[in-house]
A = this chain, B = another copy of it.
Amino acid sequence: MPIRVTVWGENVHDQENDVVKGIYPNGMHNTIADFLRKDPEIICKTAILQQEEHGLTEEILETTDVLTWWGHCAHKQVVDEVVNRVQQRILQGMGLIVLHSGHFSKIFGKMLGTTCSLQWREAGETERVWVCNPGHPITKGIKRYFEVPQSEMYGEPFQVPTPEENIFISWFEGGEVFRSGLTYKRGNGKIFYFSPGHETYPIYHQEDIQMVITNAVKWCRPEGDNWFDKFDGKPTDPVIKIDIKGPRLHGDGQSGLR
């Protein structure tokens, strides 16, 4: 079964900034989709902010196994209805890969419950991404570390909950460190956050970066069935027959107020 990936892009800098257009003529989202498609296991579509429902209709999400997310300057423009829909799909089992400045996206904050804030600096300094757990499928093909020659510094403190696993930690020329690869589980959905990816450097053209994101797609694809949360406000019958005791909110035992 191929892995069905939807690559979501904000597509603002990609349209407005000459440097970004020069590096990503078809937009970051298409660059990412293109390298993902090279893998025989993956089929890919893209979606952008400007589309109706930001390209993330019920139908598209239902047929998405893994969603990747890159956003930076327009997080607030993503409508809540779509964010809630994406959350619902993740909890059912869809994987989520959040890239770079997506740490401030509504969906990432929603899944994690913290601000996800950090320190940053745009100086094109070297970033060295170290592997913390060799053998983890996300690190497949990476030796001890790889370098991003020109990167945006992201630095601790990074306000996130303790992850399921810490995959990468980055070293920056200017003296900082950052947890640059983290995994989370929410409901039935796996989440991977990967920080390198500032739009004015050709980071998504870099082979190591492409390898990590491709590995991550395979890692966070749904493994089991969907977890359809069928909460409908109705009570559950007991397994063992019991008598009703004590007063109840409603005579019939249903709290129609939920």
Contact = CB atoms under 8 A, between A and B. Distances in A.
Interface-centre pick from A101, A163, A244, A247 (highest chain B CB count, 10 A): A247
B176 A171 contact: yes
B73 A258 contact: yes
Number of copies: 4
Contact of A140 (B132, B224, B236, B254): B224
Contacts of A125: 238, 242, 245
24 contacts: A17-B249, A91-B159, A93-B135, A110-B113, A120-B235, A121-B235, A123-B242, A123-B245, A124-B245, A124-B247, A130-B177, A132-B156, A133-B159, A133-B188, A133-B227, A134-B228, A153-B236, A153-B238, A169-B169, A169-B179, A171-B171, A171-B172, A171-B176, A200-B247
Interface residues of A, number: 100
B131 A237 contact: no
